[in-house]
Amino acid sequence: MEAVRIEDVIGEYVNLRKRGVNLLGLCPFHNEKTPSFTVSPAKGIFKCFGCGKAGNAVGFLMEHEHFSYPEALKFLAKKYHIEIEEEKITEEEQHAQDERESLMAVTAYAQQYFSRMLHNTALGKSIGLSYFKHRGFRDDSIEKFQLGYAQDTWDAFSSKAIEEGYKIEYLEKTGLTIIKEGKRYDRFRGRVLFPIHNLSGRIIGFGGRILSAEKDKPKYLNSPESIIYNKSKVLYGIYFARTEMVKKDNCYLVEGYTDVISLHQAGVTNVVASSGTSLTTDQIKLIKRYTPNITILYDGDEAGIKASFRGIDMILEEGMNVKIVLFPPGEDPDSFARNHRTSELEEFITEGAKDFILFKTDILRQEAGKDPIKKASLIRDIVKSVSLIPDGITRSVYVKECSVLLEVSEQILVAEINKIYRKRFSGKYDNFIPDPIIKPKSTLLKTEKAEVSKSEGQERDIIRILLQFAEEEIQIPENENNENTGLPVSKTDIQVIDIASYVVSHIQEDDFKFENPIYQAIYDLIFEKLEHGEFTTQEYLINYTNPAISQMVIDIMSTPYSLSENWRKNKIYVKREEDRLQSAVIHSVNAFKSRKIERKLAQHFKEMSEITDEEALQAKMEYIKALQDIQRKINSAMGRIIVG
Ligand SMILES: [Zn+2]
């Protein structure tokens, strides 16, 4: 990270011009005509004041090039001629790697074999190829998706593969050959085959559709899981769709192999299917690498609709946007694509795309009718979906919309959502989800931010001070801890202390916790280092491996702000230049503590109202009084600074 010059890295993609100490260009992440994309070479970070994206060089590459974290590091290492020492792989790992290669060699061979069978044998042509033609697949599509045919014999493929030198061990591990009671036979017999590609276009498995009308055999048969084929992490068609997904900033999700191919033929190529399994979170995350937008295309039967509900919730939970297109009864994406012109298809799937909330509400409303009990459960169902949206602003927009559609007041919906949150987040501070409780009614959007946490401003100030001024020294009176006065300073008994230690000692003393879990995590890192006598550098946190932390630090560092604003805001006036930082820091610590105590008091008052036992009530009141005393002292100390 020390070798990286962010302006070089970003400069390859964005035309940057000098503006003061920073560089300025047009943001590559949103459309803009006047540049608001800022790069700070000194801090090693970028920030767009238009769309809010910010990060370091690694973050930029991950966002712009869709690299994974290790991929971005490798890219940078190459650029700066730094050799990456990969951990020496153990014999076991080497073996696993060899095995993966061996399995992929088998699947690649199998694909060629099955394609040959399709095109060069009489049965392949009369059964397999004619089936594809009947489905309306063009030659170029059959070629592109490397479709194939497996004859209806016991072990024609396995025998040929062994004859060609492929080991039975690997044939069995890919699932292409099955061994039972000492006899081997082919998994795929009398089926047309759809090879499944990984992200780099290599074949990792197959889906086979039966062509005879035998009732006792499944219509579709898939390769079993293997070390190269993990069903829940693969999407059919992703290799052919990913560039277009980025360009169109949308991904169409369909159910089957033939849907994918038909849509491709019709010119819609940003399409994938979750074949072989129902939609998984890993699959959604895979899509998210390329676009945050998913449009689900499902046929309009009961099963299709119900399947889409589950999918919707999972997609929302990943913070992605989801729309749904429902096809007319009796039609699916495949048949629709075949029976309509490309322009008609495109119009149908863009115009017909319904927002998830409208979709779900419509369907459930029809189901519930006038039954009040059913309607109540419908509302709960929809509220649950809305509660899954991680972004507060989006969530509140949906609350408004729901309120109108369902004819229920916003307050009730918000109360319902908060109930869900309390259940979901009770006592959990370790998952980096900012306090999601939202306030009801009209001030929703405005208060959303402020109400993320009532201590947000004070907490952020503390973190900012720890990030910017940790090593600076201030002078505080020795007895400060007892009286919490802060100022004035008497020359005889002062103590010189670095700001980090000063802040940390105050927070540790009363074991104050940050409400925002990301602040708490940053604080914990700083505290841990300080215990070992070290200061935490901004670089360390900016390049920290947890993106929630590095993102927050970058955000704080790149927001225009100076402590002097804090003085002005709080009417702090001090005479000597060196007293300013000191006053601001002491003020911020006191404000933080005051707010924390205020929160504690509120909690105790609430508890007090529920106490019936006289003795317990007395104890509670004394405790509250003691807290109030402390708070009064802090507030008066703050007042003294203001006057002083
Ligand atoms: Zn931007």
Ligand 1 centre to CA of 25 (Å) is 10
- pLDDT mean across residues, the chain: 82
- Whether the CB-CB separation of 37 and 27 falls below 8 Å is answered with yes
- pLDDT at residue 311 in the model: 84
Ligand 1 center–CA 28 separation, angstroms = 6
Q: How many angstroms is it from 56 CA to the middle of ligand 1?
A: 15
Examine the domain organization and report whether 217 and 317 are in the same domain: no
438 close to 415: Cβ distance less than 8 angstroms: no
Question: Does position 485 have pLDDT exceeding 60, yes or no?
Answer: no
Ligand 1: centre distance to CA 24 (Å): 12
Quick check: is 514 in a domain? yes
How many angstroms is it from 298 CA to the middle of ligand 1? 34
Q: Are residues 464 and 484 in the same domain?
A: yes
Overall average pLDDT of the 443-460 stretch: 54
- Quote the percentage of the chain above a pLDDT of 70: 88
- The predicted pLDDT at position 427 comes to 40
636 found inside a domain: no
Q: What angle do CA 600, 605, 608 make, to 5 degrees?
A: 125
Distances in Å between the Cα of 601 and the Cα atoms of 23, 367, 597, 598, 631 are: 48, 48, 6, 5, 10
Closest CA to 252 of 379, 149, 153, 337: 337
54 alpha carbon – ligand 1 mean position (Å): 9
The CA 16 to ligand 1 mean position distance, Å, reads 14
Measured CA to CA in angstroms, residue 578 lies from 472, 583, 598 at distances of 11, 9, 31
The alpha carbon of 64 and the centre of ligand 1 are apart by a number of angstroms equal to 12
222 and 291 assigned to the same domain: no
Range with the largest mean pLDDT of 118-127, 436-445, 457-466, 492-501: 118-127
Read off the pLDDT of each residue in 157-167 and give the average, rounded to a whole number.
94
Residue 630, in any domain of the structure: no
pLDDT tier, 439 (very low <50, low <70, confident <90, very high otherwise): very low
Of 408, 426, 444, which marks where a domain is finished?
426
Q: How far does the centroid of ligand 1 lie from the alpha carbon of residue 392, in Å?
A: 20
Same domain, 266 and 402: yes
- How many whole angstroms from 48 Cα to the centroid of ligand 1? 5
Tell me the pLDDT band of 478, cut-offs 50, 70 and 90.
low
Percent of the chain with pLDDT over 90: 28
Confidence of residue 157 (pLDDT cuts 50, 70, 90): very high
CATH number at residue 183: 3.90.980.10
Dist. CA 632 → ligand 1 center (Å): 45
**CA 464 to ligand 1 centroid distance, Å:** 24
What is the Å distance from ligand 1's center to 52 Cα? 6
Determine which of 291-305, 351-365, 514-528, 568-582 has the lowest per-residue pLDDT on average.
568-582
pTM: 0.57
Asked if 321 and 293 count as a contact pair (C-beta separation under 8 A), the reply is yes
pLDDT at 3: 85
Q: Tell me the CA–centroid distance for residue 61 and ligand 1, in Å.
A: 15
The confidence score (pLDDT) of residue 204 equals: 95
Q: How far is the CA of 26 from the centre of ligand 1 (A)?
A: 8
Mean pLDDT calculated for residue range 85-98: 77
**pLDDT at residue 149 is higher than 90:** yes
Q: Clarify whether residues 204 and 255 are in a common domain.
A: no
pLDDT reported for residue 452: 45
The pLDDT, as a whole number, for residue 438 is 37
Residue 132: the pLDDT is 95
Residues 259 and 381 in one domain: yes
Residue 62: which CATH number? Answer: 3.90.580.10
Cα 38 to middle of ligand 1, angstroms: 9
Q: Is there a single domain that holds both residue 35 and residue 121?
A: no
pLDDT above 70 for 246: yes
Task: Tell me whether residue 438 is in a domain.
Answer: no
Residue 489: pLDDT over 60: no
**What is the pLDDT confidence band of residue 445, given thresholds at 50, 70 and 90?**
very low
Taking the centre of ligand 1 as the mean of its atom positions, its distance from the CA of residue 564, in whole angstroms, is: 28
Which token pair is 177?
């050959």
pLDDT of residue 567: 53
Instruction: State the distance from the centre of ligand 1 to the C-alpha of 246, rounded, in angstroms.
Output: 16
Measured in Å, residue 57 CA sits from the centre of ligand 1 at 15
CA 72 – ligand 1 centroid, Å = 20
574: amino acid identity, one letter: V
**CA-wise closest residue to 509 among 634, 406, 351, 380:** 634
442 pLDDT more than 60: no
Tell me how far the alpha carbon of residue 290 lies from the centroid of ligand 1, in angstroms: 17
The beta strands (E) that lie in 83-226 are given as 148-150, 177-180, 183-186, 191-197, 203-210, 220-222
Please report whether residue 265 resides in a domain: yes
**Residue 65 CA, ligand 1 centroid: distance in Å:** 15
- How does 521-541 read in b/e, with b if 16+ C-beta sit within 10 Å? bbbebbbebbeeeeebebebb
Q: How far apart are CA 87 and CA 502, in angstroms?
A: 41
Instruction: Report CA(13)–ligand 1 centroid distance (Å).
Output: 14
- The pLDDT value recorded for residue 643 is 34
The boundaries of the domain holding residue 528 are 456-596
Whether the per-residue pLDDT at 536 is higher than 60: the answer is yes
Pairing between strand 321-326 and 293-298? parallel
Q: How far apart are CA 313 and CA 356, in angstroms?
A: 9
Instruction: Tell me, yes or no, whether 539 lies in a domain.
Output: yes
Across 568-585, average pLDDT: 62
Residue 50 CA to ligand 1 centre (angstroms): 5
Give the pLDDT of residue 188.
Answer: 96
CA of 201 to the centre of ligand 1 (A): 32
**Ligand 1 centroid distance, CA of 389 (Å):** 22
Residue 98 clears pLDDT 90, i.e. is over it:
no
Give the model's pLDDT for residue 437: 37
For residue 10, the CA-to-ligand 1 centroid distance in Å is 13
CATH label of the domain that carries residue 397: 3.40.1360.10
The yes-or-no verdict on residue 517 having pLDDT over 90 is no
pLDDT over 90 at 144, yes or no: yes
What is the whole-number distance in angstroms between the Cα of residue 27 and the centre of ligand 1? 5
Whether 10 and 32 share a structural domain = yes
Does the residue 558 lie in any domain? yes
Going from the Cα of 32 to the center of ligand 1, the distance in angstroms, rounded, reads 8
* Ligand 1 center from residue 563 Cα (angstroms): 27
pLDDT score for 641: 45
Q: What is the pLDDT of residue 124?
A: 94
In a domain, 1, yes or no: no
**520 and 401, same structural domain?**
no
Residue 128: is its pLDDT beyond 90?
A: yes
Judge if 281 and 380 occupy the same domain: yes
Query: What one-character DSSP code corresponds to residue 104?
Result: H
Q: What is the tens place of the pLDDT at every residue in 603-642?
A: 888 888 777 777 788 888 888 888 888 888 887 777 654 4
- Domain identity same for 219 and 264: no
- Ligand 1 centre distance from Cα of residue 69 (Å): 21
CA of 36 to the centre of ligand 1 (A): 7
pLDDT digits (tens, 9 = 90+) for 368-403: 777 888 888 888 888 888 888 877 777 888 888 888
What domain count does the chain have?
Answer: 4
Q: For residue 2, how far is its CA from the centre of ligand 1 (angstroms)?
A: 26
Cα of 35 to ligand 1 centre, how many Å? 9
Ligand 1 centroid to residue 31 C-alpha, Å: 7
Same domain, 285 and 384: yes
